Amino acid sequence: MEVKLPTFDSVFSIDCVIFGFEAGELKILLIERNEEPFKDWLALPGYIVEQDESIDDAAERILYELTGLRDLHMQQFHTFGEVNRHPQGRVITVAYYALIRINGQKDLRPVTQFARKAFWHPVNELPKLAFDHSEIFNTGFNKIRRRLNYQPIAFELLPEKFTLTQLQSLYEAILNKKLDKRNFRKKMLSFGFLKELDEKQKGVSYRAAKLYKFDKRKYAKIFHNDMSIDK
């Protein structure tokens, strides 16, 4: 059974790679497509940009429509423009990423019929995705890995109050390697933008860890410049 699809001329689209961290695992947000092409496939949340919206606005709108998530701070990271990346015609897509705390309460509700559902999936063992979305994901993952070194992106993935162990295991998940506990703590604390709280973890069946907060104001003061190389 052949499905006849419309084709189109130049179209812009947006695709989103949204990272979350839950249960010690790094995850991304996927949707199950409800439309041809690639009906029933898993894909990154993505759709077509309208005439009268900037691409940044489009990214926010599209993510919301497909997943119900709003007000993330998304950043563009690459544009994919191979001729045949979309079977229906010429579609150039601008890829965005964001990092957010996964919030168990809020569930993910697509607003359009275009996605059947949206859900978190561990970044390890990702299935094959629609279009060139696997490649888009990989490019995005490499970007945030690099960016982790000079931007405070990890804190967007953790709850407001977190333990140093949680922070470390997030770094380990992103960088995909083990870090030394003592050195990690020493270094993180030396930056001076972590605020130690008077609270402790609750509900654990072992010694409770201290909680910390990321202090944006201190961070901004410390790093008005970048951390460049030489002198």
- Which residue, among 191, 146, 154, 150, has the nearest Cα to 170 in the 3D structure? 154
Q: Which stretch binds DNA (CB under 7 A): 25-33, 43-51, 148-156, 202-210?
A: 202-210
Distances (CA, A) of 95 to 15, 26, 80, 101, 126: 5, 19, 8, 20, 18
CB of 185 to its own copies, least distance (A): 11
Which residue type occupies 64? Y
The interface mask with DNA, positions 114-153, x = CB under 7 A, is: ----------------------------------------
Give the number of residues in contact with its own copies, rule: CB under 8 A: 36
Contact residue for DNA among 51, 205, 224, 225 (CB under 7 A): 205
SS3 12: strand
Could you say which DSSP state residue 162 is in? B
Q: Which does 9 bind (CB under 5 to 8 A by kind): DNA, its own copies, none?
A: its own copies
- Enumerate residues 6-45 that contact its own copies by CB under 8 A: 9-12
Cα–Cα distance between 160 and 20 in angstroms, integer?
Answer: 14
Question: Which residues share a beta bridge with 16?
Answer: 96
Cβ distance to DNA smaller for residue 100 or 209: 209
Contacts of 95 (CB under 8 A, 6+ apart): 14, 15, 16, 17, 76, 77, 78, 79, 80, 136, 139, 140
Among all chains, which residue has been given the structure tokens 């052949």? 2
Cα–Cα distance between 229 and 110 in angstroms, integer?
Answer: 45
Q: What is the CA radius of gyration of the chain?
A: 20
Contact residue for its own copies among 76, 112, 124, 138 (CB under 8 A): 76
Task: Confirm or reject binding of residue 185 to DNA (CB under 7 A).
Answer: yes
CB of 159 to its own copies, least distance (A): 23
Distances (CA, A) of 202 to 29, 101, 132, 164: 29, 19, 43, 15
Contact residue for its own copies among 1, 3, 23, 229 (CB under 8 A): 229
Q: Which does 128 bind (CB under 5 to 8 A by kind): its own copies, DNA, none?
A: none
Task: Confirm or reject binding of residue 210 to DNA (CB under 7 A).
Answer: yes
CB of 26 to DNA, least distance (A): 18
Residues that bind its own copies (CB under 8 A): 9-12, 49, 51-56, 58, 76, 78-79, 81-83, 90, 92, 94, 146, 148-149, 171, 175, 179-180, 183-184, 187, 226, 228-231
Residues that bind DNA (CB under 7 A): 163-165, 180-183, 185-187, 200, 204-210, 229-231
